[in-house]
Amino acid sequence: MITRNFSLQAVLDLRERAKDQAQDALSIALRSRDSAAARCAEAAERLRELTGMMTGERFPAYQREQYWTALNNQRDLLRALEARLAKEDKIVASKRETLIAADRDLQLVLKLREKWLSNRNAAIARFEEKQMEDFITAQHVLQSAIP
């Protein structure tokens, strides 16, 4: 008896869907991380500008206090953005691991499907060969029966 349908097709469909969802989640996490990295780079550049302004010019005392406050606020912002970037990197790593696991699970079912297809094709070939042999045998019997 030759089975017509792959018995694990539902599992294969679920694994394909899980991999697609994992790819989408990784894509979203990468965009979020890239955005956090861009914000971090902008804050670092602004901090360099403020530092350059502080070292390059002489200011009255009241302005110096404003620049020091701005400089300290920018440092705090940069630290917060770097912490956020580190969290985003961890999320990306987690999503990447999830994608790798989903792909591994999918590949396992795909290998089982390939083995099933190979066995099915071999069974079909044997069946067709047997049918052909029966046909040839019947043809020889009929030819030998006719005088």
pLDDT profile of the chain (147 residues), mean per 10: 78 95 97 97 92 73 80 95 97 97 96 93 92 88 75
SS3 assignment, position 9? helix
Q: Examine residue 121 and state whether it is found in any structural domain, yes or no.
A: no
Q: Examine residue 132 and state whether it is found in any structural domain, yes or no.
A: no
For residues 112 and 8, the answer to whether their CB atoms sit within 8 Å is yes
How many structural domains is the chain composed of? Answer: 1
Q: Examine residue 47 and state whether it is found in any structural domain, yes or no.
A: yes
User: Which pLDDT value is given to residue 20?
Assistant: 97
Q: Examine residue 99 and state whether it is found in any structural domain, yes or no.
A: yes
Q: Examine residue 76 and state whether it is found in any structural domain, yes or no.
A: yes
Cβ neighbors of 34 (< 8 A, separation 6 or more) are: none
Q: Examine residue 124 and state whether it is found in any structural domain, yes or no.
A: no
pTM of the model: 0.73
Give me the torsion for CA of 137, 139, 144, 147, rounded to 10°.
170
Q: Examine residue 118 and state whether it is found in any structural domain, yes or no.
A: no
Q: How far is the C-alpha of 92 from the C-alpha of 82, rounded, in Å?
A: 15
Q: Examine residue 137 and state whether it is found in any structural domain, yes or no.
A: no
For residues 30 and 92, the answer to whether their CB atoms sit within 8 Å is yes
User: Which pLDDT value is given to residue 1?
Assistant: 53
Domain around 48: 10-106
User: Which pLDDT value is given to residue 4?
Assistant: 77
User: Which pLDDT value is given to residue 3?
Assistant: 59
First to last CA, the chain: 39
